[in-house]
């Protein structure tokens, strides 16, 4: 397992990290299975575990907490807040009012007195940067969080938040967690260069593109991935973007085979090769999945292989642009781009 410095924090983290979204109802994973995954991950050298309050409405955090009982100090523990936690309109977002409560709830579920990294799950257009950064700075000074970061922020919002921290003499985001894979390379154009400019640690999610790069999805086979059950539109081959992804997967599988690699090794080796990336988050549901991911821990792709990947999916290109999670609100709501 390789270890890298998380931004400028001085904290060393593994190049593969365990994402816990599939713990509980989302991945139909029991506590016993979740604990076995944590055991195996730690034994293999993974030392970063990432979860969020909204995964299973808190269930993932509870399961992570139980799995880590008695060995909290062995891991860099990260969680996130900001996504809706119920119907109350104030039980979401990044206001001071909500973050103070959300963090206390997360600490209780995790069974710890602090987290190492607390991340804002999505940019909240309704809340100013000063409000959020002030709350996070106070929580850091109170010892409840060691560092804080952003997740899936557009590049311009990352820059704005860095400026606000400097302007108001507040703590700053030290990490960003974007979606990044061979099939979704849009962050290479703006987000990753900005992260490098500001010295942010980068923890990438969905490096296997929701299962497209797991090796389970190939032409002529029934699509066999857990995500297809609750995200059917992402795997419907009548959608042009999905056909483009399948075509790319077939070509990438050939590159992997020629290089003597699995498709998973190719996919994880690709994202961890980018100089801006600190760790790739893997979200296994079974020990078999985890073993497949761990096989990529020390994968280093040659320049020839990376060039071949570039020829399949051009740098900075998203094959499914409709699935970008950092689109500004004005691109999603017509009323925000039309003068009244």
**So where are the chain's domains?**
3-211+271-299
pLDDT digits (tens), the chain, 340 positions? 999 999 999 999 999 999 999 999 999 999 999 999 999 999 999 999 999 999 999 999 999 999 999 999 999 999 999 999 999 999 999 999 999 999 999 999 999 999 999 999 999 999 999 999 999 999 999 999 999 999 999 999 999 999 999 999 999 999 999 999 999 999 999 999 999 999 999 999 999 999 999 998 888 777 766 555 556 788 888 899 999 999 999 999 999 999 999 999 999 999 999 999 999 999 999 999 999 999 999 999 999 999 999 999 999 999 998 887 887 778 778 888 888 8
Question: What are the C-alpha distances in Å from 152 to residues 14, 203, 226, 280, 311?
Answer: 21, 10, 23, 14, 26
* Cβ burial 58-83 (10 Å sphere, 16+ → b, else e): bbbbbbbbbbbeeeeeebbbbbbbbb
207 phi/psi in degrees, rounded to 5: -70, -15
User: In this structure, how many other beta carbons lie within 10 angstroms of the beta carbon of residue 240?
Assistant: 10
E strand or H helix at 281: strand 279-282
First-to-final CA distance of the chain: 56
pLDDT of residue 296: 95
Q: Where are the alpha helices (DSSP H) in 202-278?
A: 227-230, 240-259, 263-273
Topology of domain 3-211+271-299, CATH: TIM Barrel (3.20.20)
Contact of 116 with 78, CB cutoff 8 Å: yes
Contact of 267 with 213, CB cutoff 8 Å: yes
Radius of gyration of the chain from Cα atoms? Answer: 19
Tell me if residue 55 is catalytic: yes
pLDDT of residue 38: 97
* Cβ burial 26-53 (10 Å sphere, 16+ → b, else e): bbebeeebbbbbbebbbebebbbbbbbb
pLDDT of residue 225: 61
Half-sphere exposure of 86 (CA within 13 A, CB side): 7
Catalytic residue among 3, 55, 118, 173: 55
DSSP state of 76: E
The SS3 assignment for 322 reads helix
Contact of 52 with 84, CB cutoff 8 Å: no
């Amino acid at each position: 397992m390789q270890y890298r410095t998380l931004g400028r924090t001085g904290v060393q983290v593994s190049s593969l990290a365990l994402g816990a979204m599939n713990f509980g109802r989302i991945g139909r994973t029991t506590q016993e299975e979740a604990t076995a995954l944590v055991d195996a991950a730690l034994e293999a050298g993974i030392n970063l575990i990432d979860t969020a309050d909204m995964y299973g409405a808190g269930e993932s955090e509870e399961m992570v907490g139980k799995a880590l009982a008695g060995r909290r100090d062995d891991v860099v523990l990260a969680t996130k807040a900001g996504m809706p936690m119920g119907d109350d309109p104030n039980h979401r977002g990044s206001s001071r009012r909500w973050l103070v409560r959300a963090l206390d709830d997360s600490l209780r579920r995790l069974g710890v007195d602090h987290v190492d990294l607390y991340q804002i799950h999505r940019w909240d257009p309704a809340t100013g940067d000063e409000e959020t950064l002030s709350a996070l700075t106070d929580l850091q000074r109170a010892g409840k969080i060691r560092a804080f970061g952003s997740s899936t922020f557009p590049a311009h919002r990352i820059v704005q938040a860095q400026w606000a921290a400097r302007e108001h003499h507040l703590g700053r985001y030290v990490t960003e967690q974007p979606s990044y894979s061979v099939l979704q390379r849009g962050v290479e154009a703006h987000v990753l260069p900005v992260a490098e400019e500001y010295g942010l640690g980068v923890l990438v999610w969905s490096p296997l593109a929701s299962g497209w790069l797991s090796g389970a999805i190939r032409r002529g086979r029934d699509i066999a991935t857990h995500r297809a059950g609750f995200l059917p539109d992402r795997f419907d081959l009548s959608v042009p973007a999905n056909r483009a992804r399948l075509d790319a997967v077939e070509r990438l599988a050939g590159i992997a085979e020629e290089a003597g690699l699995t498709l998973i090794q190719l996919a994880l080796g690709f994202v961890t090769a980018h100089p801006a990336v600190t760790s790739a988050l893997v979200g296994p549901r079974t020990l078999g999945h985890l073993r497949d991911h761990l096989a990529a821990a020390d994968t280093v792709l040659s320049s020839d292989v990376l060039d071949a990947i570039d020829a399949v999916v051009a740098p900075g290109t998203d094959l499914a642009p409709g699935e970008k999670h950092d689109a500004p609100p004005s691109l999603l709501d017509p009323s925000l781009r039309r003068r009244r």
